[in-house]
Amino acid sequence: MQPWPGRPYPLGATFDGTGTNFALYSSVAERVELCLLDDDGTEERIELTEVDGHVWHCYLREVQPGQRYGYRVHGPYAPAEGHRCDPSKLLLDPYAKAIDGNIDGHPALFSYDLRKPDRRNTQDSAPHTMHSVVINPFFDWGHDHPPGHQYHDSVIYEAHVKGLTRLHPEVPENLRGTYAGLADPAVIDHLTALGVTAIELMPVHQFVNDPHLQEQGLSNYWGYNSIGFFAPHNGYAAFGSRGEQVQEFKTMVKALHEANIEVILDVVYNHTAEGNHMGPTLSLRGLDNASYYRLVEDDRAHYFDTTGTGNSLLMRSPHTLQMIMDSLRYWITEMHVDGFRFDLASTLARELHEVDRLSAFFDIIQQDPVISQVKLIAEPWDLGEGGYQVGGFPPLWTEWNGRYRDTVRDFWRGEPATLGEFATRITGSADLYAHTGRQPVASINFVTAHDGFTLRDLVSYNEKHNEANGEDNRDGESHNRSWNSGAEGETDDPEVLALRLRRHRNFLATLLFSQGVPMIAHGDELGRTQRGNNNVYCQDNELSWVSWDLDETQEHLLDFTQRMVHFRAEHPVLRRRRFFAGDPGHGGESEIGEIAWLKPSGETMQDEDWEQSHARSIMIFYNGDAIPEPGPRGERITDESLLILLNAAAEPVTFTLPDGTYGCVWRTAINTDPTAGDDNGEYVPGDTVELLPHNTVILVCPREEAA
């Protein structure tokens, strides 16, 4: 096979319709071999002789889509100096658009002898590692276009590709747990009926299924162990892994877009699956270790780790930044995704001990004409000093608001002295975001996510029950701000069950009447349980998968969630683009009258009332006639006024409706008590409404009555 010189850009393997250009960056390589693999594993090695700016490249006319390949890099192996080149290891292309296979844990994957770590291991890793694949980049997108939902109109649904669909009875068996399964009409119909505007997929970048977990009968289920930043994970492909996964992923995105649902990817750019200095040599480590990974300055044999995974990518390196930026642009332009949620985003930008808006990563994203236009969501914590950085991100970003999660959990389990904090979080967390010029939509509000209890388990367990993970229940978070409602785990007690249902609905209702962007974790609308396991990262089984076998209670919960999501969509007063004018600590109250916080007696909250540690019941008035910001066409926005009655106390509370300045007639729209049925009760000022313990009622004042 006669290579042509080819071009140094784009990096990766690029099929142009005739042949394929290969380009690989390594600043330390002394010699690079491109290895083409036949189906039987036979290897054809082609030495790359063309080098421009440390990019090794060639063009091969004979190479077509579906061809497996890898690289062998000859260069220094000097761990003490930060170099770990090892030509006995077949390396993945960092820019591979598809990856075939997985690693098997064989000692050949390691550059040292597992029994004597100071001794080299030069066994060939090719039969035991993953292989890069040349793909066909061409796809008929038709009239596909991004749905382009505004943040304030968005409801995000966090989901796992496999977990959401693996047990769905209406999805064909061969498609369950795959990209094609997620694109099935039965799944899309569920999402559209629920009313979500975006699905946030847990990691779909190619990741490694850890051999040590497999040996225990477990699996890397969540996928926060990326090795290919351009390749859709082959384990979620229904039709093959020689490039078929790319076409299947694109088809899924196209189907979701047709249903007006955005696709957001949970991306893990802060580390790779190669682990610490004792990890396998799979890709970046053997290509140019010191250019890609952050090493300990005075001990370059070891990795600087702020992720808890063994390594962190070197964000100061222009080549690392280029790889990440190229990856982001690829997923937007070629795969048509609509945004990203960045795992441990603080690690990407950490300068000393704080998130620095002038860091290279933030600065370059701000300037990028493609990436800056999609949804950017940060997980604002890592394991570094000062690791929790909520509110510290620049204006372009939104953030998972962990303080919202904690406060709402505390309020609904009856913790004392939470009213002021609760009011701040409900109204968009102006104290966290306003100082950077951001608005309530900067707050991605959530009560549960993949990492932790499900909503059903949040109201059913005081303690985590992670025994299935094989770590003697030592893993996972112990302080969950949960309450079992009177019995640990499964119970037949009707009072406990009734309380749990109200509390489950309370969380959903609170999430959806709060200012900001709500995020629902998959299955919470169905009452999904993990039986008290709050860390199912390794449970690729029915413990973590969504069960679609619903009982009557779960059907009612789904109906309630649908009604609540649609209620939010119908009421712009719940989807404001601007913060309330008043003090965040007093829930934004001001003379403008946009919002009012009232005692159960119907009287306005006074300063001293906010300090009452025992206060667990309150009313919120959303004024539909006081929405200052204009609509999309510059028009004035008006809405029905809402009165939200919240009782987080352990006993019933009687609420007295406020005087006629707030509204003349009130009608019940939402009640989290399932026994209330379709209560459309009508009330006038001075009437009383009795709420059960841990109960929410939302009243609406029709516009014709407001005057």
The answer to whether 100 and 234 are in contact (CB under 8 A) is yes
Q: Round to whole Å and give the CA distance between 52 and 176.
A: 46
Q: What single-letter DSSP state applies at residue 638? A: -
Q: Round to whole Å and give the CA distance between 458 and 100.
A: 39
Say which of 274, 379, 406, 673 is annotated catalytic.
Answer: 379
Q: What single-letter DSSP state applies at residue 634? A: S
At which residue do the structure tokens 């098997």 appear?
104
Cα atoms in the Cβ-side hemisphere of radius 13 Å centred on 224: 18
Q: Round to whole Å and give the CA distance between 523 and 159.
A: 8
542's tokens: 């029915």
CB-CB neighbours of 47 under 10 Å = 13
Kindly tell me the burial class for residue 73, based on how many C-beta atoms sit within 10 Å of its own C-beta (0-12, 13-18, 19 or more). Answer: buried
3-state class percentages of the chain: helix first, strand second, coil last, to nearest 5: 30, 20, 50
CB-CB neighbours of 584 under 10 Å = 21
DSSP string covering 77-123:
EEGGGTEE--TTSPBPPTT-SEEE------GGGSSB-SSSTTSB---
Q: Round to whole Å and give the CA distance between 289 and 132.
A: 19
Query: Which residue(s) pair with 201 in the sheet?
Result: 159, 265
379 has catalytic annotation: yes
Burial 235-274 (b: 16+ CB within 10 A, else e): bbbbeebbbbbbbbbbbbbbbbbeeebbbbbbbbbbbbbb
Contacts with 391 (C-beta within 8 Å, 6 or more apart), sequence order: 380, 399, 429, 431, 432, 433, 435, 436
Residue type present at position 477: E
The answer to whether 348 and 342 are in contact (CB under 8 A) is yes
Q: Round to whole Å and give the CA distance between 460 and 468.
A: 18
Nearest to 707 by CA among 668, 637, 660: 660
Kindly tell me the burial class for residue 578, based on how many C-beta atoms sit within 10 Å of its own C-beta (0-12, 13-18, 19 or more). Answer: middle
Q: What single-letter DSSP state applies at residue 637? A: P
DSSP string covering 384-437:
STT-B-TT-S-TT-EEE-HHHHHHHHHHHTT-SS-HHHHHHHHTT-HHHHGGGT
705 has catalytic annotation: no
CB-CB neighbours of 654 under 10 Å = 12
Burial 414-445 (b: 16+ CB within 10 A, else e): ebeebbbbbbbbbbbbbbbbbeeebbbbbbbb
Give the distance from CA 374 to its chain's centroid.
15
503's tokens: 């509390």
Contacts with 521 (C-beta within 8 Å, 6 or more apart), sequence order: 158, 446, 448, 449, 450, 454, 455
Q: What single-letter DSSP state applies at residue 635? A: P
Name the helix (H) or strand (E) containing 287.
helix 284-292
Residues belonging to the chain: 707
Say which of 86, 343, 406, 421 is annotated catalytic.
Answer: 343
Catalytic residues, which ones? Answer: 343, 379
